[in-house]
Structure 1
Amino acid sequence: MKIILTGSLGHIGQPLAQQLVREGHAVTVISSKADKRAAIEALGATAAIGSLEDADFLATTFADADAVYCMVPPNMAAPDVLAHYRTIGHSYAQAIQQAGVRRVVHLSSWGADLDQGTGFILGSHQVEGILNALPDVALTHLRPGSFYYNLYGFVGMIKVQGIIGSNYGGEDVIVLSAPTDIAAAAAEELTKTAAPGTRVRYLASDERPAREVARALGTAIGQPDLQWLTFDDKQTQRALEAQGVPAHIATSYVELGASIHSGAMRQGYLQHQPQTMGKVKAEDFAKEFATAFQKA
């Protein structure tokens, strides 16, 4: 199969490209950075260098593709983060139509079923809506849980304060996903036959209360009593802004955390739970976390 991947050689893109190349597919990886060309070609894939905002470039790259994997690279520096999502979403939609692509797999997120109160995840919701309007396309939205590597953001707090703290924690259940598990699911979707229409597939590697995640991380770093405390929204907003996070970005983080705390983020997941969980559990990731913690 001829398969086009967006996302360059990121956390998901690289293992996804490696798996598809091993399986014998003709893989093209799109990157905005010319210096990624050599690394892409070293994997046995073809590099296409250009901007995701350039629909004509995308349409040319998508030509004759059997399947396309679409993701929106986060851009927290954008003046309007949600507008960034919509711009890329419309670019994908235009290119898919121009190139006549019939199979699309879109990296979305848990919580993308909600149309408010999820911070940045609202961008995934909006892109889903844009792509859902495409006619005669077999479209799958992958909705993974929170990426494990987001937990690296707590390294500094643990080192300075000896705790994890946010506006969710304690008994709040977090759905967690490893990039390698997401890549495996994306490869499966890209290479199987699918009828026209829209399908949603939730993905998870593990599902734990925050206190259990803290225990797994704490045990790995030699702090088995590590606690994940819950602050209120105002405390969290102030703390983020004190760290230099712009107010509008801090507000999005707070909204996202509040939706996890309330359980709203998890409702769609509970209605459509994965038949099988991913391989990487919290204790597996904790080993990687410990290595990063020691180096920080």
Structure 2
Amino acid sequence: MKIIVTGSLGHISKPLAQELIAKGHDVTIISSKADKQHAIATLGAKAAIGSVEDVAFLKTTFAGADALYGMTPPNFGATDMIGYYRHIANAYAEAAKSTGLRRIVYLSSYGAHLEKGNGIIRGSYYAEQILNELKDITVSCLRPGYFYYNLYNFLGMIKAQGIIGANFGGDDKLIMVSPLDIATAAAEELTAANAGSNVRYIASDEHTCNEVARLIGEAIGKPGLQWVTFTNEQVKNNMLEHGMPPAIADLLVELGAGIHTGLLGEDYEKHKPTPGKVKLQEFIKAFAAAYNHN
């Protein structure tokens, strides 16, 4: 198969491309950075340098391809974050319709079943709606949980304050996932014979925030490390003090509140997947190494 992979050489896209190439597929990797071209070629893939916001570029790149792994690149500079997600999804859809693409696997998120109450993930909700309207193209929406590497955001807080803190915590459950398990699922969806349109949840492990804090504390030599639950107002004010745009802060606070109430995971609990292979304890080894290095 000829498969297009977006996301450059990111946490998911690189292992995904490696798996597809190892299985004999013809892979083209889209990257916005020309300096990635050599590394992409070294993997055994073709490089397409351009922006996923550029429909003309996408049409040229998609020409003759069988399948697309599509994701929305992070862009915290966007003035309308939800609109940005819609814009990227519309670009994928317009390019796919005119190039004969037959399969799209889109990186969405758990919580994307919701039209409100899910913060930034609302962008994934609208992206799913746009892509699912495509005719004669099968669409798989991957809905992974909370990425392990998001825990790196707490490194500074642990060092400075000796705690982990957010507007979720305590006995709130984290549905966590490794990018490697997402890559495996994406490869399966892209290459499945007679695949139909579907939603696929992806999770590697589940723990309460208290359990995560305990495991991290044991690994970094801080037994008794606590995960403190702050109010929405406290979290928002902290974000604003650090220069985050108010609109982004509101979305992130709403997202955290959705984790706290369990709203984000409601549909996941009805369609729980077989857990992935990469467990939290494995990630925590990398977390501890990063903590001790800095």
* Pairwise TM-score range, normalised by the shorter structure: over 0.9
Where do 1:127-146 residues align within 5 Å?
Answer: 127-146=127-146
Deviation at 1:112, TM superposition (A): 0.3
Which residue is equivalent to 1:261? 260
Q: Which moved more, 1:35-44 or 1:57-66?
A: 57-66
Residues 189 and 195, structure 2, Cα contact 8 Å, conserved in 1: no
Which residue is equivalent to 1:218? 217
- CA distance in 2 between counterparts of 1:140 and 1:194 reads 12
Which residue is equivalent to 1:114? 114
Where do 1:81-100 residues align within 5 Å?
Answer: 81-100=81-100
Residues 32 and 50, structure 1, Cα contact 8 Å, conserved in 2: yes
Number of residue-to-residue matches in the alignment:
294
Q: Does 1:295 align with 2:293?
A: yes
The alignment partner of 2:175 has SS state of strand
Q: Does 1:246 align with 2:245?
A: yes
Which residue is equivalent to 1:175? 175
Deviation at 1:117, TM superposition (A): 1.4
Where do 1:198-217 residues align within 5 Å?
Answer: 198-217=197-216
Where do 1:16-55 residues align within 5 Å?
Answer: 16-55=16-55
The alignment partner of 2:213 has SS state of helix
Which residue is equivalent to 1:285? 283
Letter in 2 for 1:116: K
Residues 109 and 121, structure 1, Cα contact 8 Å, conserved in 2: yes
The alignment partner of 1:78 has SS state of coil
- CA distance in 1 between counterparts of 2:266 and 2:155 reads 29
Which residue is equivalent to 2:232? 233
TM-score of the two chains, using structure 1 as the length reference: 0.97
- CA distance in 2 between counterparts of 1:75 and 1:57 reads 19
- CA distance in 2 between counterparts of 1:84 and 1:294 reads 37
Which residue is equivalent to 1:151? 151
- CA distance in 2 between counterparts of 1:141 and 1:194 reads 16
- CA distance in 1 between counterparts of 2:70 and 2:144 reads 14
Provide structure 2 residue ranges, at least 5 long, that are not aligned to the other structure: none
Deviation at 1:57, TM superposition (A): 1.3
Which residue is equivalent to 1:273? 272
Deviation at 1:9, TM superposition (A): 0.5
Deviation at 1:193, TM superposition (A): 1.8
Residues 138 and 194, structure 1, Cα contact 8 Å, conserved in 2: no
Percent identical among aligned pairs is 56
- CA distance in 2 between counterparts of 1:73 and 1:146 reads 17
The alignment partner of 2:119 has SS state of coil
The alignment partner of 2:113 has SS state of coil
TM-score of the two chains, using structure 2 as the length reference: 0.98
Residues 103 and 194, structure 1, Cα contact 8 Å, conserved in 2: no
Where do 1:65-76 residues align within 5 Å?
Answer: 65-76=65-76
User: What are the Cα deviations for residues 164-208 of structure 1, in whole angstroms up to 9, with x where unaligned?
Assistant: 011100000011111111001101111112345x31000001111
User: What are the Cα deviations for residues 21-67 of structure 1, in whole angstroms up to 9, with x where unaligned?
Assistant: 11111110011111110000000000011110111211221112121
